[in-house]
Amino acid sequence: MKTLKDLFLDEVGDMYDAERRIVKALPKLVKAATCEKLKAALQAHLKETEGHVTKLEQVFQSLDQKAKGKTCKTTVALLEEGGDIVTEFKGSPALNAALISAAQKVEHHEIASYGALHEWAKLLGNSNAADLLEEILGEEKAANATLTELALKSSDKEALGECGCHNDDSEKECSDKQPATVRRGIKPAGMNRKRAGALV
């Protein structure tokens, strides 16, 4: 009969595999991003993700188990899809929006997984593991929130063609730039909404 502890170990192995795959995949997303703030956010999350691998090894230790990954099919599929998007949207104004969406799909899977793992660790009375998993969960949620903010403030507008700054090599960020349409004197749809000033 399989127990909650078996399920917990199985899922920790799944996430151990997922995090190690993400550590390998994130540098490709960092390289592909043309928005400097997105690059920085992904780079920062790469560092955190390396820490998640270490924390999961500590979770294994708390169970007197050797760290062992089990292929995370969800992450394999999400990263494969993300890789395809990078290729398909290279050079497109929608590239950064596509990268954010791909990264957020990974984050949402991680948030769901760590949310369950954290609860199971508490149910199993493993406070050491519960604390480690809570720390990882907090960082995944924060990374996801940062990506949402970047999408809303810049990348989605860029994808709509309302901000051309990422297409110009001399302008690395849109934070202090007017949207391309505004610079050209064109009033884009929704101009009355919070816009140029709201760009990242």
Under the rule (CB under 5 A), what is the footprint of Fe ion? Answer: 110, 140
Q: How far is the CB of 53 from Fe ion (least distance, A)?
A: 11
Q: Which is nearer to Fe ion, 147 or 200 (CB)?
A: 147
H/E stretch holding 62: helix 36-62
Q: How far is the CB of 120 from Fe ion (least distance, A)?
A: 19
Q: Which is nearer to Fe ion, 18 or 32 (CB)?
A: 18
Q: Which is nearer to Fe ion, 140 or 158 (CB)?
A: 140
Q: How far is the CB of 29 from Fe ion (least distance, A)?
A: 12
Rounded to an integer, what is the distance from CA 118 to the centroid of its chain?
Answer: 20
What span, in angstroms and rounded, lies between the C-alpha atoms of 81 and 75?
10
Q: How far is the CB of 78 from Fe ion (least distance, A)?
A: 11
According to DSSP, residue 174 is labeled S
Q: Which is nearer to Fe ion, 111 or 160 (CB)?
A: 111
Structure tokens given for 117: 């793992």
